[in-house]
Amino acid sequence: MQEPLLLRNDTRVHMKVPKEYACPECRRQRRSCICGKVTAFSNRIRIIILQHPQEQFKVSNSAALAHLMLRNSSLLTGLSWKSFKAVAGEKEIPSQWGILHLKGGRNSETPVEIFGRNGSLMETSFQLKGIIAIDGSWKQAKALWWRNSWFLKLHRIVLNPDFKSIRNQSKEEGLSTIEAIAFALKNLGEKPVVSDTLISQYKNLIKTIK
């Protein structure tokens, strides 16, 4: 079995980079900036990451890494946004988008399930134009759901991974943001190399945390 890179309750997960020393892009300390070092991809399914402010300067900022690696992505930090269009753009239609639902354990044999607004399970071939991912703990994600009622207009994407997070987080926490994005993309038709590289570079990032 693979050794987890970070142990359960590992305090390194909560370490923060002092704001004044952080690179504005990768949010790492400037001396260990990884901006020029990551492989980036032109992903087909657009990704928008909504990041809880408390996650912004964490050393294990997997959301910032995912954003750096996915050219067709945005990273927005905040607690509330007034509408779906304010986040995704005027031309976007919520029924073509999904939101990664609160992280959870494995409840189904199907790796990724998409549920419609009325709660009905969609065909797995359903083509999503974009995905909204929430970056934060379970509690922080819940706070964002509470403050952004427009989330309910989107399809709900439920992940049922058959593996544990590299970070070996608690079951409730599930996957880290970058792992969740990689897993969703892989199972929703994006090229496997994109997901595989997201994970390998995330492993490299974790290895550098001291």
Q: Which residues bind Zn ion (CB under 5 A)?
A: 23, 25-26, 33, 35
Nearer to Zn ion, 137 or 197 (CB): 197
**From CA 75, how far away is CA 178, in angstroms rounded?**
12
Distance in Å, CB of 26 to Zn ion, minimum: 3
CB of 38 to Zn ion, least distance (A): 9
Pairing mode of beta strands 97-100, 46-51: unpaired
Provide the β-strand partners of residue 53: none
Measuring CA to CA, which residue among 9, 35, 10, 20 is closest to residue 205? 35
In whole angstroms, the minimum distance from the beta carbon of 9 to Zn ion comes to: 28
Judged by beta carbon, residue 25 or residue 92, the one nearer Zn ion is: 25
User: Nearest distance from residue 33's CB to Zn ion, in Å?
Assistant: 3
Q: Of the two residues 148 and 201, which places its CB atom closer to Zn ion in the complex?
A: 201
The alpha carbon of residue 177 and the mean position of all alpha carbons in its chain are separated, in whole angstroms, by 3
CB closer to Zn ion, 35 vs 121: 35
Q: How far apart are CA 125 and CA 114, in angstroms?
A: 10
Tokens of 28: 């790492």
Q: Say which amino acid occupies 31.
A: R
Distance in Å, CB of 28 to Zn ion, minimum: 6
* Of residues 47 and 64, the one with the C-beta less far from Zn ion: 64
Closest approach of Cβ 57 to Zn ion, in Å? 13
**What is the DSSP track for 20-83?**
GGB-TTT-SBGGG--TTTS--B--SSEEEEEE-GGGTTBTT-HHHHHHHHBSSEEEEESS--S-
Residue 36 or 119 with smaller CB distance to Zn ion: 36
Residue ranges of alpha helices (H) inside 148-191 are 177-187
